[in-house]
Amino acid sequence: MVNFEKLCDVYASDLAKGGNAKGPGEQEVAEDEPFPNEAHMNSEPAGGVHEQTKDDNSTSSSGKQGRKRVYADSDGLETGLLNMSNSFAKYLESEKKNANTMADIGKNPPRLDDDQVVMAVRIIGRDPEDSDLFLQMEDRYKVIFVKQELEAAKNKLKDA
């Protein structure tokens, strides 16, 4: 267990310094693919070798210098989720308003008997498009709409 703890310490240290440490789930980089520092090191004159050894001492033992981990900007995600939450709240508010209107119509039906009201609410409430259309109509058209829906439902039952 002591070796595992030392390995974890070295790995954490390499990550903090920007070393090219690999975790158990990370893929290895292809060896033929040069890192930006390697391409620069190959083209440097002999005077640049001294600077190279300074860099090697500060990074991991692999000799390659990697990039530090960059965490995603969470502000964009937070803003998106906030907008989605607001849209959802507005949608629920409009649906609640529609449901209250339907309930009011069911309580105070103009020129309809009880059976017709119950059947109309069941039929119209099934389809959101019909509900929206129904809610936007004037009262006199609502009565005609309900009667036509009831007649269509009766015809469907007879045909079945």
Q: How confident is the model at residue 107 (pLDDT cuts 50, 70, 90)?
A: low
Do residues 81 and 130 share a domain? yes
Q: Is the per-residue pLDDT at 47 higher than 60? A: no
Check: CB of residue 107 under 8 Å from CB of residue 120. no
Q: Is the per-residue pLDDT at 56 higher than 70? A: no
Task: Give the CA distances from residue 143 to residues 42, 52, 74, 151, in Å, rounded to whole numbers and listed in that order.
Answer: 87, 88, 53, 12
Do residues 51 and 93 share a domain? no
- Quickly list H helices, the chain: 2-17, 36-43, 49-58, 74-107, 114-126, 128-136, 139-159
Do residues 38 and 95 share a domain? no
Render pLDDT for 69-91 as a digit per residue (tens, 0 to 9): 666 666 778 888 889 999 989 98
Average pLDDT, the chain: 68
Render pLDDT for 114-155 as a digit per residue (tens, 0 to 9): 677 666 766 776 777 766 667 776 777 777 777 787 888 888
Q: Tell me, what's the pLDDT at 133?
A: 67
Q: Which residue range(s) make up the domain with 148? A: 74-159
| Cα–Cα distance measured from residue 135 to residue 127, given in angstroms and rounded to the nearest whole number | 12
Number of structural domains in the chain: 2
Do residues 147 and 80 share a domain? yes
Do residues 112 and 54 share a domain? no
